[in-house]
Amino acid sequence: MSEPIKLRLEGLDCASCAAKIENSLKKEGFSSVSVNFVRKEATLEGNMEAARRVIRQVEPGIRVLDASGTGRAAEDEESSGTPVAMIAAVLLFAVGLVFRYGFAVNNVPLLLLFSVAYLLAGWKVLRSAFLNAIRGNLFDENFLMTIATFGAFAIGEFPEAAGVMIFFMVGEYFQDLAVNRSRRSVRSLLALKADFANLMVDGKLVRINPEDLRPGNRILVRPGERIPVDGIVVNGSSSLDTSALTGESMPRAVEEGETVLSGSVNLNGLLTVDVTKELKESTIARILELVENATARKAKTEQFITTFARYYTPVVVGLAALVALVPPLFFGAAFSVWVYRALVLLVISCPCALVLSIPLGYFGGIGKAAKTGILVKGSNFLDALSAVSVVAMDKTGTLTKGVFKVTDVVTKNGFSREQLLKTAALAEVHSTHPIAAAVREAWNGEIDLADVLEVAEQAGSGIIARTTDMEIMVGNDRLLHRQKIDHDTCHVRGTVVHVVIDKNYAGYLIIADEIKEDSAASVRKLKELGVKKVVMVTGDSRGVAESIAKQAGVDEVHAELLPEDKVSVIEKLQQETGGKGKVAFVGDGINDAPVLAMADIGIAMGGLGSDAAIETADIVIMDDKPSKVAVGIKIARRTRRVVTQNIVLALGIKLVFIALGIAGEATMWEAVFADVGVALLAVANAIRILR
């Protein structure tokens, strides 16, 4: 499979043109094609030069540039038309109106005035119409506007011809301003990359590009500077502004030994940081990639509108032809009257309001979610999130802090506390699980890695390790039952980790985890939003799970589950919804990856979460707060509501004006409002999501 390529489409100022480019590329055999009007980019698989050739044929006025690897969109271009030309056209048009209605000047000077105003306002439209007509594209909005205004000139309606083109130009100008404002709002989120890094080399500071940093490098971050890459603080303490990453306004205190994330701003102290990840693998790069690529995954509504627009314009143009010809030819009506009515329909026939405002609405929703620390990987997932009726949550790291501590050590069969802790730490030496980290921390002594010869992880139950002189089993009841080891059945509050040395039961560790402060509030907010059921799905013991569930207020508990058991629970919940709602799963561990993929919506905790969980999930919560699930659903529902409003607004007004145009009750001025004016209203409505 070839690598996807990105093309920057400079001059793409028409939403229906973006849809047309996408359809043309698909017809030419390109795969994974997505043209993003809001970001002015095309993403596809195939030959770049061939793609450029197709785009230029469809839209000759567009400059096609290579955008692969840029990481961020180029700066906004000028709006369609220039203010100088627009102002001059408006002034000439006003003078023409005064001469016609104030002084009754004859038609030749009027024709000259209105023609100059028309050309100033519409030269770009006329040029595009001419080039598109040569290529046989007769359903382009520029061509339709040209035919409509030429027709108005032909029947002597000079003011309307010029006025319609000027109104169209002004509408396009303000529409571009509105779209660019939305682009800038989301781009402000993307302006998180540090411009430089202070690399420490032989006691000196060298300013370098963050892309050149490598794991093991040591950097200095001064107060007020942005942290360029992920790392660990080795000297100093400070407060960090992480609002751009997590949406939280409260500064986060960091000190030696703590992890810092790229994109955070160092507020006060001087920090020495050891780099742990290259820029392309750091948190900020992951956020940029997720947000920038999100609009490539389109919601069903967007796909429907794109298909609808393909048929809407030809149908209305055909209707205009019937209106122009049928009454005069079959009923003896005046040609001028019915041709004028047909011209009105031509102006209404462009579906720009729909094609532009729907993706812009989803783009705004994705941007708003990102600003609150919720990364949505596609507008299709935002759509699905709005329909969630059941939320299933993992326990460890999701509802609880995932920060474990050994609270008690119980020895059996003559083994000492020191033996128990050391052998358990030896078995867990290579594990990244939070419980393993707690065991190693409790031992807090030296471990010789060379002693560990073999480690076999038992999914959902524990670890069996072999050293130079013994076999160690560390895990839950399930592991010991499977290995037929006699042991205590403990009814204690906390997670129990049994330890077996050479088939002899050595005792157990009690490991406790705290519930997150906002877990109960999260469940309460979900129910306030109308979520029918909140379920806990965990591999932990039933006693621990039920204790946490009671504190959080969840409706249902499924405990002591293997990864495949979690998948079965989600499948059962999906069957219970009967297709009338979506099932979301919230998790953070490697063992959650299968169930994150299985759920209708997979939501991963991005702070503590494993890379596998984050890659598999559809949505990532950057600050690990379960309450953000309710926030995400709220944003998704608001986005869906605005998108629906725009569909009803655009279609409703257009259908009304089509009827009025056929009845002779709508002028071309009003028709332009039905086209450009409705697009402006829909765009303004979509931008509300960002507030």
Sheet of strand 271-275, all strands in order from the earlier edge strand to the far edge: 204-208, 197-201, 218-221, 271-275, 231-235, 259-260
CA dist 249 to 240, 261, 283, Å? 10, 16, 18
**Positive or negative torsion for Cα 260, 262, 263, 265:** positive
- Mean pLDDT in residue range 41-49: 84
> Residue holding tokens 């999914």?
459
Same domain, 505 and 418: yes
Query: 587 near 620, Cβ under 8 Å?
Result: no
DSSP codes of every residue in 297-325 = S--HHHHHHHHHHHHHHHHHHHHHHHHHH
Same domain, 440 and 581: no
Task: Give the CATH number of the domain where residue 263 resides.
Answer: 2.70.150.10
Q: Which amino acid is at 643?
A: V
Same domain, 425 and 467: yes
Residue 609 lies in a domain: yes
Domain end position, chosen among 512, 537, 552: 512
Of 101-110, 445-454, 459-468, least confident by mean pLDDT is 101-110
Domain end position, chosen among 512, 541, 576: 512
Residue 372 lies in a domain: no
Active site residues: 394
Q: Which DSSP helix (H) or strand (E) runs through 290?
A: helix 283-294
| 3-class SS of residue 288 | helix
Enumerate helices (H) and strands (E) in the chain, giving the number of each.
23, 26
pLDDT at 569: 92
> Residue holding tokens 């469940």?
523
Task: Give the CATH number of the domain where residue 393 resides.
Answer: 3.40.50.1000
Name the average pLDDT for the chain.
82
CA distance 337 to 331: 13
**What is the pLDDT confidence band of residue 79, given thresholds at 50, 70 and 90?**
very low
Domain that holds residue 470: 405-512
**Phi and psi for 303 in degrees, rounded to 5?**
-65, -40
Give the CA diameter of the chain.
116
Tokens of 550: 């009671």
Same domain, 183 and 87: yes
**Cβ atoms within 10 Å of 76's Cβ, excluding its own:** 15
Query: 671 near 348, Cβ under 8 Å?
Result: yes
Same domain, 257 and 394: no
> Using one digit for the tens of pLDDT, what is the confidence trace for 597-616?
888 999 988 765 556 667 77
Closest residue by Cα to residue 405 from 438, 374, 378, 366: 438
Tokens of 61: 């006025």
Closest residue by Cα to residue 140 from 294, 8, 20: 20
pLDDT at 58: 79
**Cβ atoms within 10 Å of 332's Cβ, excluding its own:** 7
> Using one digit for the tens of pLDDT, what is the confidence trace for 167-206?
778 777 776 776 666 666 555 555 567 888 999 998 889 9
**Cβ atoms within 10 Å of 180's Cβ, excluding its own:** 17
Same domain, 433 and 496: yes
CA distance 173 to 78: 9
Same domain, 507 and 409: yes
Beta partners for residue 197, in sequence order? 208
Same domain, 486 and 537: no
Residue 447 lies in a domain: yes
- Mean pLDDT in residue range 578-584: 88
Residue 73 lies in a domain: yes
pLDDT at 182: 61
> How many CA atoms does the CB half-sphere of 612 hold within 13 Å?
9
Residue 282 lies in a domain: no
> Using one digit for the tens of pLDDT, what is the confidence trace for 312-358?
778 888 898 899 999 999 888 888 889 889 888 888 777 776 777 78
**Positive or negative torsion for Cα 659, 663, 665, 666:** positive
Of 431-435, 500-504, 527-531, 679-683, least confident by mean pLDDT is 431-435
**What is the pLDDT confidence band of residue 82, given thresholds at 50, 70 and 90?**
low
Domain end position, chosen among 46, 77, 108: 77
Query: 337 near 625, Cβ under 8 Å?
Result: no
Same domain, 423 and 485: yes
CA distance 338 to 353: 26
**Positive or negative torsion for Cα 668, 670, 672, 674:** negative
Please check the confidence at residue 641 and state whether its pLDDT lies above 90.
Answer: yes
Tokens of 314: 């030809």
**Cβ atoms within 10 Å of 218's Cβ, excluding its own:** 16
Same domain, 546 and 506: no
pLDDT at 73: 41
Task: Give the CATH number of the domain where residue 442 resides.
Answer: 3.40.1110.10
Of 284-293, 431-440, 663-672, least confident by mean pLDDT is 284-293
Beta partners for residue 510, in sequence order? 408, 496
CA dist 388 to 295, 529, 534, 629, 669, Å? 20, 10, 11, 11, 44
> Residue holding tokens 């039961």?
505
Domains contained in the chain, number: 5
Task: Give the CATH number of the domain where residue 22 resides.
Answer: 3.30.70.100
CA distance 351 to 353: 6
Residue 365 lies in a domain: no
Tokens of 159: 């003011």
**CA angle (253, 257, 260) in 5-degree steps:** 55
Q: Pseudo-torsion of CA 206, 209, 214, 217, nearest 10°?
A: 20
Q: Which DSSP helix (H) or strand (E) runs through 391?
A: strand 388-393
Tokens of 365: 């929703």
CA distance 340 to 342: 5
Please check the confidence at residue 377 and state whether its pLDDT lies above 90.
Answer: no
**Positive or negative torsion for Cα 601, 604, 606, 611:** negative
Query: 111 near 154, Cβ under 8 Å?
Result: no
CA distance 441 to 453: 22
Same domain, 228 and 161: no
Q: Which residues does 674 contact at the CB level (< 8 Å), separation at least 6?
A: 347, 348, 653, 654, 656, 657, 666
CA distance 438 to 428: 10
Residue 500 lies in a domain: yes
CA distance 131 to 303: 28
Residue 209 lies in a domain: no
**What is the pLDDT confidence band of residue 52, given thresholds at 50, 70 and 90?**
confident
Same domain, 235 and 302: no
- Mean pLDDT in residue range 422-441: 84
